[in-house]
Structures are given as C-alpha cells and as structure tokens.
Structure 1
C-alpha cells in the first residue's frame, strides 16, 4: 500500500462526489461511497494474455490476477489503468488504445476491466513490491487457472460476470 495514496470517493456510477479518502485510514467506505479500481488484460499479437502473481507481502499472496489497482484522486479510470499497468509490469500503452470490457460492482469498489494490445516481443518488468511473477497464457489457460481457483479470490466473481464480455472483446481483436 502506497503511503499517502488518495482516492476520489464516487457514487455507484463512478462519478466523483467531491470527497477524497486516504487509503488505509479508518472510515472506509463512507456511507454509499465507492472507489474505482482499473485492471488490464494485456493481449499480445500472438493471442497470449498476461497474468501477474501478487507479491507474497500483499493480500491474497501469490495468487494470480490481471494487473491493476486503485484509481488515484483526479485520475480517470483509463488513466489509472495505464498507470497501474506501467507501474506493475513496465508495459506502457497509450490511453486511447485501451478497450473497455465492463464494470463489476463490489460492496465499495467499482472494478473496470480493459484490454490492451501488446507486441509479441513486449518486455515485462515487474515491480517486486507488487508482483512476484508474470506469465503469458492462452485464453483457455487463463480460464482454467480461474476455474481451478488459482486467481486471487476477488477475481472469481469478477470473472464470472466479465468473462463473457472479455471473450467478446478478445475474439473481436
């Protein structure tokens, strides 16, 4: 967790309310408040998808997920997705290249999933504070890892809701 990490408090539609909240301080979530979390499914030109393994020091240690994290105060969901992807994996993508898949609503978080294209020779440089490892997997292997319970537990309902829309975007690309 980053010290001094501030989030916009949003309504259920992701519209900032004007309030902000410092991560880790008592009182989250404020009554009816949400924060936006942006995640990115990176797809190489050869069809392989990037999964990252959470570091051993984080919640859900060593479980797998798509890169992402909380959107900071003043950022859009897309800007947060681009930043988180770059911070966790070293992969830089232009904001306009992200394709929105969908939003999953949790108790106090709005999880936005995007797809980003990457070249087959893209280099992944993980931030060891955030990420223990990364792997490129075929779509069916990602689905198997999810269904076998190897993804971080919060990803199970997210993927249950977003897997169909994700496959549509992946198949169209």
Structure 2
C-alpha cells in the first residue's frame, strides 16, 4: 500500500465558488458522461466534512455521495473548473467561499485505485490536520512524520 503523496495542488476559489480543476486532478477523477460531457462525482466524509472528488460514487458508509456534476470551461484563461453543488451540506459548502484557498490532495493509492479519488480541502482543514510544532519535520527530514500524522487522523482515511 503506497502512502506517497502524488498530488498536492493549491488553488484559489473564484467568483460564484468556481474552483480551478488542475490537469492532474482532471486526469485522475474526471470522466466523460454521455449527456453532460466531462464530469466528476462529489462526496464528503460524514464526520470530518472532507470533500472527495471521484469518478464514481464512494460506497463506504462513512461517505455521502452528493452526485455527478459537470466540469465547466471558463475563466479568463479558459481553465477547467468545478463548482460545489447546491446539494452539498452548508457546512461543507462554506469551505468554498470566493478568494479562499483550497488544496487538492491525494496519495498514489487513491489515484491508482479502481475508482480514483482526490481530497479537496480548504486551507483551514489542511492546517488543522498538520501535526503540532513538536512533531513537524525539521530541515533535512523527509516529512514522513507529517505524512504519518495526517494518515492517523480520524476521517482522513483512504476512500474505498
């Protein structure tokens, strides 16, 4: 089981809560729907409110499938983007206010799974996961302690 972080991309939420969808994330989780074109599934973890984008709904009981939603063209640079669905819980949607920062985060096992998935976390959610000052890696360390700390957090488990 690989726990190497293969994807960590920060983006800024745009007007109307549109979130840029980087090419690496698109490649991992987007799929072509016969009627709506490029789409992703929105899910969130029941206890932590972490959003997970995936190709198909996550089926484990700890995840809520919000549904399949279109990937949009747009913006001045025509970058692809997604928008948190109205059906998403209000607490979860509050992480996607315009001008706020979000982070796409995935490790190899998530991206390489039968149903690829990627976390989409607010900066506040990510910072809350980081270990305290005493357990952070120092200069020259590989960051393994931080990875282990993230993976031990309740709710920050690999999606099925």
TM-score class normalised by the smaller sequence: 0.3 to 0.5
TM-score normalized by structure 2? 0.33
TM-score normalized by structure 1? 0.32
Q: Using CA pairs under 8 Å that are at least 6 residues apart, name the structure with larger relative contact order, 1 or 2.
A: 2
